[in-house]
Structure 1
Amino acid sequence: MSANPDFIYQPPMSPYLDVIFHDDDILVLNKSSGLLSVPGRLPEHQDCLQHRVQRVFPSATIVHRLDMATSGIIIMALNKPAHVAISRQFEQRKTKKSYVARVFGHIKEVQGSVDLPLICDWPNRPKQKVDHDNGKPSLTHYQVLDHSDYGKQSALSACESTLVELTPITGRSHQLRVHMLALGHPILGDRLYAQGQALTASERLQLHAKTLSLAHPVTNKWLSFDSPCPFD
């Protein structure tokens, strides 16, 4: 059973690749919304960031992923030692990441945290859900950036929205999307979790991986990368 049976994969072609930085060990890219990070099982789901990158950088390997609908910064390794070193930083939560999202409604608190365990909603996969008995610990901090009405300049329905900065402490699948939903503020344009105005207010998921900081796998120099938010 699919949670989104009407989905047709139409990956964006421009830009085909958006490289922010690269050296002999790492490659940092800005992934477009609508592009898979890795290939899917079906033949029509083979076009993805990994395959596009490997045509130019054949040794590149995926270290972490972004949801297909999420845009923003993603890092790849260009050799095995770099892959091991970067993976270890992610596993030990030494990397620093922040996202920007536009969510439905008016979040009253200026900042806060969502500490809710998550597990795969198996009958509705790939959806995830809160499960206090069996879920894995999941923590997200949020900071309100702005309140506004969104959608008035388009044919889509306008709605009250909040622009938030999200900092995931853990890295569960769909963590930010489900945590915002649990607050009662689904991310605009979320085809898996949003309904009504929250779904129709945007043609894309309004979630963007804006910053990533980590130690270089060889020099150990602290690096910070930033990608401007396309819907801010």
Structure 2
Amino acid sequence: MTHHRFGSAGERVLQQRHGTTERAAEFYDRQVHPYLTPTMRAFIDRMTMVFLSTADSGGACDASFRAGPPGFVQVLSDRTLAYPEYRGNGVMASAGNMTENPHLGMLFLDFTRDHIGLHVNGTAALCSDADLRHHHPELRVDPAPGRRPELWIHVTVDEAYIHCSKHIPHLEPAARPREQESVRPRDQQYFTDARVPRQPLPVDYTPATPVRQAEVARQHR
């Protein structure tokens, strides 16, 4: 049995406490791989979205989302993949976390056909477009038509495993209804009440804990 290389110490403590050690061991042995199987690679190649989880060096977490044409996350080998980062709001929360803590969690979900998911956990590195193309000339030239990546996230796979289908909803692909976007607030204002100006923090204000500091920093950046 090889499951001891997978999972955290915290997982194993809770498995013992709740009597799921044998069930978890079977899952590790049957479902968790330190590489991408051919079926996993084909699955990623047709995905149009992925959910990301990152954390900074202090453990403050961030969840994000990326989307693009099928195969915008490009499988480079059975142990490596990469996805492009484009010009956005300039915050670079996910990439910034990776410079402090390279551990990255990715969740691919198929909402339309097989209703199954794939977890890929790995170690991330930031690469320029030129550098990644130098080492991988087979990289797609235009993963998102009309857009050029500002950088790439190169991921070395640590583990890959299934996300069960039980609660994955069925969604039908459809064009975005542009008329709804014309009547809703613009993105920059959607979650902000423009009538209530944001109050600056007092100069001498110090949050009580590092966690609170991270929350305040995120709210005022």
TM-score per shorter chain, which class?
A: under 0.3
Q: Which has the higher strand share?
A: 1
Q: Which has the higher helix share?
A: 2
Tell me which structure has the larger Cα radius of gyration.
2
